[in-house]
């Protein structure tokens, strides 16, 4: 009904409902299937293999069937080649970050990309190397081979000793004399770690565990990213400065590395430092002041990373920087594709937990990037299907000497913004990288390592900018700010893997602390309505003395049941004061003519209690009995079905049956009308 001002009114006449009466009257009679029937149904759904299921396993089939050649081909070709240009320098740089040969980074631009294009559901995700995963792999390699001589296998002719017929094809011209056993072992170790990560991702996808990524909040990921950026900077300083620095692993490795670099600053190779600064400045200026400002006018972003690689290689070759200025260069890069070799999982038998963490980090990074772009384009991403795709990629790719692949935000954004329409763009990019692998390897021999380090450092800009979120987090949620700072400090003071675990632990601890700090809220009714609100924040009617309405805005479980009981029992003490002083101002009712009540009541509004456990159910019962001893009737309202099922399963429902009401207003009216069952 409405009045002259077109304001709508609600006028409902219905009986007061207790919960059990409401259930008997309105709940459908549904017989839940027995556990073995549910298991059988689940297995049948998982094992069925229809045409739709097959298409779901290989999304590329649907892409090809629905591909609009004239509308999509040009955009896919341009974006694919553009991302291919990015894959080359990033792949080599991030392989160096992983303490693996640069050629491994080139393989990462081909095998994971083409496999994900076949298996993945994102139209734009660019798989391959990413900073975080590369550093995680590198830190494991550092730890695993810390007893060996401090020689990074991709650090130039005096350090680069990788390849053998066991790893690379026979037509490679690199001589066996240049191969160190340590280098081969590092590749095998990275392959084993990647295999474990892939198996983890695949099993999680099969078991529908994509939801686990929610354990990593935005504040945790932000602090983690910024901490990893500092970690990477500390690891690359020695290459930028041309120093030979002792390698530190484990707790406090970042501070110790920075101190060691600072002590050796007088011995830095100034030509290497100068070239690094020039490359970083040019890349930064082009990316910020050309690619970003003129992205709507440019057909494709300027591939400044690749241009700097080519420029530095030419300069290094003609000026003989390695011979005359003691530059460290990447050295021989084998041409051709590697022979497939099955990974030996025993190489990483002592690093299974770390490998699982790498798989989780790779998944979290990839799915977040895929979802960001998918939302812009208006299509959905299935986290579990993506997990299966990532798992398949990281199980197959180690056979071809690749380490853990993930989706990169920078490359994915470029693939999207430069006109990519489908996974076909990734195929174009992978074939371009393949041509470079087959032909360009020997040409990159004079490339200085410091240039790759410079590319890495510039790519950290977005990760370092995460520190700017601190101010907003402090304003919005100090707890999230604490998670950010705790994760950040844990990363730079311990190890990346341990820091991530600590960050997740801090996040879980803040949830526990928040539930411990919840206090019951006193409710009152808005005049002439059945709406209940916080009495300290809203203008509510002055109720009569015998009733207090409390809302508890938190799940009720083992960690906070004691706090819940204590805080509610404190309200019982108020009735002792009321019995001595009838003029106290804690009243109830929307009916001013209602007669004064003899009995005291507490109504627990459970609308904000999303779930309870066995101890929560026990707390309900104990609270009811304790209230009875204090001559207080304890009523419960707005109990959801999930909480009710726990109460019934724990045999608490029978005790509370006559004290459960469908809504708080039902409980209130029952009290006012002196319901005979109260």
CA 90-254-368 angle, to 5 degrees, is: 45
Question: What CA–CA distance (Å, rounded) separates 123 from 427?
Answer: 11
| Predicted local confidence at residue 664, as pLDDT | 92
Taking the CA atoms of residue 269, residue 273, residue 274 and residue 280 in that order, the dihedral angle to the nearest 10 degrees is: 160
* Three-class SS of 130-153: CHHHHHHHHHHHHHHCCCCCCCCC
Question: Which residues neighbour 354 within 8 Å (Cβ) at sequence distance 6 or greater?
Answer: 136, 140, 193, 497
Question: Which residues neighbour 86 within 8 Å (Cβ) at sequence distance 6 or greater?
Answer: 303, 305, 306, 410, 411, 414
- Please report which residue ranges of 176-296 form alpha helices under DSSP H: 181-206, 218-241, 253-263, 270-286
Buried b (16+ CB within 10 A) or exposed e, 116-147: bbbbbbbbbbbbbbbbbbbbbbbbbbbbbbee
Q: From 390, 384, 372, 415, select the one nearest 120 (Cα to Cα).
A: 390
Question: What CA–CA distance (Å, rounded) separates 492 from 227?
Answer: 6
CA distances to 54, 224, 528 from 210, rounded to whole Å, are 21, 20, 47
Question: What CA–CA distance (Å, rounded) separates 672 from 675?
Answer: 8
Q: From 72, 55, 82, 113, select the one nearest 397 (Cα to Cα).
A: 113
Question: What CA–CA distance (Å, rounded) separates 102 from 330?
Answer: 7
Task: Kindly tell me the burial class for residue 350, based on how many C-beta atoms sit within 10 Å of its own C-beta (0-12, 13-18, 19 or more).
Answer: exposed
Q: Which residues of the chain have pLDDT under 70?
A: 1-5, 31-32, 35-36, 43, 45-56, 146-180, 542-545, 575-598, 674-678
DSSP letter at 549? Answer: E
Question: What CA–CA distance (Å, rounded) separates 229 from 237?
Answer: 12
Q: Is 388 helix (H, G, I), strand (E, B) or coil?
A: helix
Q: From 677, 239, 307, 666, select the one nearest 450 (Cα to Cα).
A: 239
pTM of the predicted model, to two decimals? 0.76
Length of the chain: 678
CA distances to 238, 343, 514, 561 from 519, rounded to whole Å, are 53, 55, 10, 12
Question: What CA–CA distance (Å, rounded) separates 459 from 318?
Answer: 28
| Predicted local confidence at residue 256, as pLDDT | 93
Task: Read off the pLDDT of residues 495-526 as tens digits, 9 standing for 90 and up.
Answer: 888 888 899 899 989 988 888 888 889 998 88
Question: What CA–CA distance (Å, rounded) separates 109 from 429?
Answer: 8
Question: What CA–CA distance (Å, rounded) separates 2 from 9?
Answer: 6
Task: Kindly tell me the burial class for residue 540, based on how many C-beta atoms sit within 10 Å of its own C-beta (0-12, 13-18, 19 or more).
Answer: buried
Please state which CATH number belongs to domain 518-672.
Answer: 3.30.750.24
φ, ψ of residue 402 in degrees (nearest 5): -95, 150
Asked whether the beta carbons of 269 and 327 are under 8 A apart, the reply is yes
Tokens of 267: 């011995």
Question: What CA–CA distance (Å, rounded) separates 32 from 42?
Answer: 14
Q: What residue spans define the domains of the chain?
A: 71-511, 518-672
Asked whether the beta carbons of 666 and 17 are under 8 A apart, the reply is yes
Tokens of 511: 């949830």
CA distances to 128, 373, 388, 417 from 410, rounded to whole Å, are 12, 11, 23, 11
Q: Is 325 helix (H, G, I), strand (E, B) or coil?
A: helix
Task: Kindly tell me the burial class for residue 471, based on how many C-beta atoms sit within 10 Å of its own C-beta (0-12, 13-18, 19 or more).
Answer: exposed
Q: From 361, 417, 321, 443, select the one nearest 126 (Cα to Cα).
A: 417
CA 134-135-137 angle, to 5 degrees, is: 65
Asked whether the beta carbons of 533 and 524 are under 8 A apart, the reply is yes
| Predicted local confidence at residue 598, as pLDDT | 57
Identify how many contiguous H helices and E strands the chain contains and give both numbers.
28, 8
Question: What CA–CA distance (Å, rounded) separates 206 from 47?
Answer: 11
């Amino acid at each position: 009904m409405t009045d002259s001002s077109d304001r709508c009114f609600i006028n409902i006449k219905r009986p007061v409902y207790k919960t059990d009466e409401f259930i008997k009257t309105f709940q459908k009679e549904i017989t839940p299937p027995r556990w073995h029937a549910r298991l059988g149904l689940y297995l049948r759904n998982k094992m069925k293999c229809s045409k739709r299921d097959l298409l779901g396993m290989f999304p590329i089939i649907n892409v090809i069937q629905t591909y609009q050649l004239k509308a999509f081909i040009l955009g896919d070709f341009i974006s694919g080649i553009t991302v291919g240009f990015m894959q080359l320098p990033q792949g080599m740089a991030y392989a160096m970050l992983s303490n693996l040969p640069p050629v491994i980074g080139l393989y990462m631009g081909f095998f994971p990309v083409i496999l994900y294009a076949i298996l993945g559901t994102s139209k734009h995700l660019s798989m391959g190397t990413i900073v975080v995963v590369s550093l995680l792999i590198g830190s494991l390699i550092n730890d695993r081979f810390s007893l060996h001589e401090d020689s990074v296998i991709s650090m130039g002719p005096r350090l680069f000793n990788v390849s053998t017929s066991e790893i690379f094809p026979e037509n490679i011209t690199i001589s066996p004399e240049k191969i160190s056993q340590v280098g081969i072992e590092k590749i095998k170790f990275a392959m084993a770690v990647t295999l474990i990560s892939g198996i983890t991702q695949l099993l999680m996808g099969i078991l529908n565990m994509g939801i686990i990524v929610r354990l990593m909040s935005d504040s945790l990921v932000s602090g983690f990213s910024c901490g990893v950026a500092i970690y990477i900077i500390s690891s690359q300083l020695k290459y930028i400065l041309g120093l030979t620095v002792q390698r530190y692993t484990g707790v406090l490795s970042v501070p110790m590395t920075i101190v060691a670099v600072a002590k050796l600053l007088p011995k830095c190779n100034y030509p290497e430092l100068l070239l690094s600064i020039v490359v970083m400045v040019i890349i930064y200026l082009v990316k910020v002041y050309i690619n970003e400002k003129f992205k709507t006018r440019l057909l494709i972003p300027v591939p400044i990373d690749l241009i700097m690689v080519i420029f530095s290689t030419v300069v290094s070759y003609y000026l003989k920087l390695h011979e005359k200025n003691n530059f460290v260069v990447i050295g021989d890069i084998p041409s051709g594709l590697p022979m497939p070799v099955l990974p030996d999982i025993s190489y990483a038998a002592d690093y299974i937990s770390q490998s699982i963490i790498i798989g989780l980090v790779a998944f979290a990074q990839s799915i977040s990037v895929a979802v960001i772009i998918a939302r812009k384009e208006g299509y959905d991403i299935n986290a579990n299907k993506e997990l299966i795709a990532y798992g398949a990629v990281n199980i197959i790719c180690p056979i071809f000497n690749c380490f853990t692949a993930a989706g990169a935000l920078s490359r994915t954004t470029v693939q999207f913004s430069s006109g990519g329409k489908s996974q076909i763009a990734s195929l174009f990019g992978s074939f371009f990288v393949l041509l470079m692998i087959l032909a360009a390897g020997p040409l990159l021999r004079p490339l200085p390592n410091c240039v790759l380090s410079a590319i890495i450092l510039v790519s950290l800009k977005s990760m370092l900018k995460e520190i700017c979120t601190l101010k907003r987090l402090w304003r919005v949620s100090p707890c999230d700010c604490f998670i950010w700072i705790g994760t950040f400090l844990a990363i730079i003071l311990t190890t990346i893997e341990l820091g991530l675990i600590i960050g997740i632990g801090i996040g879980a601890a803040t949830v526990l602390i928040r539930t411990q700090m919840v206090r019951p809220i006193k409710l009152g009714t808005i005049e002439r309505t059945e709406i209940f609100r916080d009495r300290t924040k809203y203008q509510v009617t002055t109720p009569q003395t015998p009733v207090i309405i409390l809302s508890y805005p938190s799940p009720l479980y083992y960690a906070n049941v004691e706090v819940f009981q204590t805080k509610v029992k404190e309200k019982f003490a108020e009735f002792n004061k009321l019995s001595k002083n009838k003029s106290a101002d804690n009243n109830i009712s929307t009916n001013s003519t209602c007669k004064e009540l003899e009995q005291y009541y507490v109504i627990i509004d459970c609308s904000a209690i999303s779930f309870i456990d066995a101890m929560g159910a026990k707390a309900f019962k104990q609270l009811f009995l304790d209230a009875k001893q204090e001559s207080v009737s304890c009523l419960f309202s707005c109990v959801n079905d999930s909480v009710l099922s726990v109460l019934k399963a724990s045999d608490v429902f029978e005790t509370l049956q006559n004290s459960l009401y469908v809504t708080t207003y039902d409980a209130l009216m029952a009290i006012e009308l002196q319901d005979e069952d109260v």
